[in-house]
Structure 1
């Protein structure tokens, strides 16, 4: 699974996230590439919720 697809599945807008907080985006991408998506979710659970509130994916 690609990192951007993962973010979309978590209802996080990857473009907005990358533009607003590129350092964290790149850090998370490199960590994501080294672990299973479920492990990444468990590792970043509370931070994912914070990021989701900031960069919520607009649904059509």
Structure 2
């Protein structure tokens, strides 16, 4: 299989992809951003709590 055949095959496969609408892409992007911020906040709180506990035992 040559590189040109590969590109043609790839182009054909891309025509079968069910692409999301603009609205779906925006909604999914917002969901990912919100979950990322929430996870960062959660991990920050855990880090702060564990650091505080460790400092109490060490100092």
State the TM-score, normalized to the length of structure 1.
0.27
- Relative contact order (alpha carbons < 8 A, sep ≥ 6): 1 or 2 greater? 1
Determine which structure has the larger helix proportion and give its number. Answer: 2
